[in-house]
């Protein structure tokens, strides 16, 4: 009985039916190349497609033809267009009021209108209502009442830490240089700090305690960071310099 149900669920008709009401993967824009039989001239036009997964296979289906998309030249712009159409369909509200370029917004609104009017996809009315409510739910905030504590920098430190992890620097220091686990973590913290904020050990220790999240990234308690430990790890690293 279960096998019979599964076979009917995966039949072509059922696949179309299921995907008419669900969104399983992202939308994308597919390039179609045609050749004029009379002139031999090749030209391109574009289709908005939707990807979906059936069992272990990823498939896609065309939703509508977008035409030549004049003014949308790059792959990045085409991705922005597909993402914008998908956000309109799902009723997502752009973060921080972000909006794409006017030409992309124009194409996206036109595509969304066709999808809605021609009922090419099932637009969830609950999602649309939630989106409309979110867009009109205004709140007033006194900006002078906003306070913050323990604000720390993270971006550059995180990027450098990821590079150190990809290079397996912790393992190298432990296995090849005789560092114990805490020394290896402190060394990576110090290296990242020098890359982001090149200064003396005294200034670096202050920066780690007051401004940066690098100690937390390296699993080192902030209260244990001081200039003396940075001096010691600098000397230990200097001995391994080649």
Q: Which residues span the domain enclosing 176? A: 155-239
User: How is residue 212 annotated by DSSP?
Assistant: B
Structural domain contains residue 136: no
Is 25 in the same domain as 117? Answer: yes
Distance between CA atoms of residues 157 and 202, nearest Å: 19
Distance between CA atoms of residues 46 and 81, nearest Å: 12
Distance between CA atoms of residues 75 and 7, nearest Å: 38
Is 99 in the same domain as 167? Answer: no
Distance between CA atoms of residues 174 and 182, nearest Å: 10
Is 229 in the same domain as 175? Answer: yes
User: How many structural domains is the chain composed of?
Assistant: 2
Structural domain contains residue 148: no
Structural domain contains residue 45: yes
Is 203 in the same domain as 92? Answer: no
Write a three-state SS string for 68-81. CCCCCCCHHHHHHH
Do residues 49 and 27 make contact, with C-beta atoms less than 8 angstroms apart? yes
Is 118 in the same domain as 167? Answer: no
Is 169 in the same domain as 81? Answer: no
DSSP secondary structure of 37-79: TTT--EEEEEEEEEEEEETTEEEEEEEEEEET-TT--SHHHHH
Is 163 in the same domain as 61? Answer: no
Is 170 in the same domain as 231? Answer: yes
Cβ of 145: how many Cβ atoms within 10 Å? Answer: 6
Is 104 in the same domain as 161? Answer: no
Among residues 97, 130, 163, the one where a domain terminates is 130
Each residue's pLDDT, cut to its tens digit, for the chain (242 residues) gives: 334 434 443 444 333 333 333 344 578 999 888 888 888 888 888 999 988 777 777 788 889 999 889 889 898 899 999 989 988 888 777 665 567 889 999 999 999 999 888 888 876 554 555 445 555 667 788 878 877 777 788 888 999 999 999 999 999 998 888 899 999 999 999 999 999 988 889 999 998 988 888 988 898 988 889 999 999 999 888 887 76
The burial of 107, by beta-carbon neighbours within 10 Å (0-12 exposed, 13-18 middle, 19 or more buried), is given as buried
Is 104 in the same domain as 203? Answer: no
Structural domain contains residue 225: yes
The CB-side HSE value for 193 (13 A sphere, CA atoms) comes to 31
Is 70 in the same domain as 183? Answer: no
Structural domain contains residue 142: no
Query: How distant, in Å, are the alpha carbons of 183, 197, 212 from that of 203?
Result: 20, 9, 12
Q: State the pLDDT at residue 19.
A: 38
Among residues 87, 114, 130, the one where a domain terminates is 130
Do residues 160 and 192 make contact, with C-beta atoms less than 8 angstroms apart? yes
Structural domain contains residue 143: no
Structural domain contains residue 150: no
Is 26 in the same domain as 99? Answer: yes
Structural domain contains residue 86: yes
């Amino acid at each position: 009985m279960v096998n019979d149900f599964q076979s009917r669920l995966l039949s072509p008709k059922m696949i179309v039916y299921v995907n008419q009401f669900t969104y399983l993967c992202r939308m994308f824009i597919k390039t179609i190349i045609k050749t004029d039989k009379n002139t031999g001239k090749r030209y391109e036009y574009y289709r908005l497609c939707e990807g979906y997964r059936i069992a272990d296979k990823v498939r896609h289906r065309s939703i509508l033809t977008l035409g030549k998309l004049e003014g949308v030249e790059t792959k990045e712009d085409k991705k922005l267009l597909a993402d914008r159409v998908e956000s309109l369909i799902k009723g997502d509200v752009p973060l921080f009021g972000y909006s794409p370029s006017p030409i992309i917004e124009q194409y996206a609104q036109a595509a969304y209108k066709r999808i809605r009017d021609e009922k090419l996809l099932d637009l969830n009315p609950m999602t649309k209502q939630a989106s409309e409510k979110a867009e009109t739910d205004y709140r007033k905030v006194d900006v002078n009442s906003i306070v913050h504590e323990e604000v720390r920098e993270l971006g550059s430190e995180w990027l450098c830490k990821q590079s150190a992890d990809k290079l397996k620097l912790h393992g190298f220091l432990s296995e090849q240089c005789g560092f114990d686990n805490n020394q290896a973590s402190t060394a990576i913290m110090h290296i990242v700090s020098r890359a982001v904020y090149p200064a003396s050990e005294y200034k670096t220790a202050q920066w780690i305690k007051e401004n940066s999240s690098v100690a937390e990234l390296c699993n080192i308690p902030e209260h244990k960071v001081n200039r003396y430990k940075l001096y010691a790890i600098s000397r230990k690293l200097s001995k391994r310099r080649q």
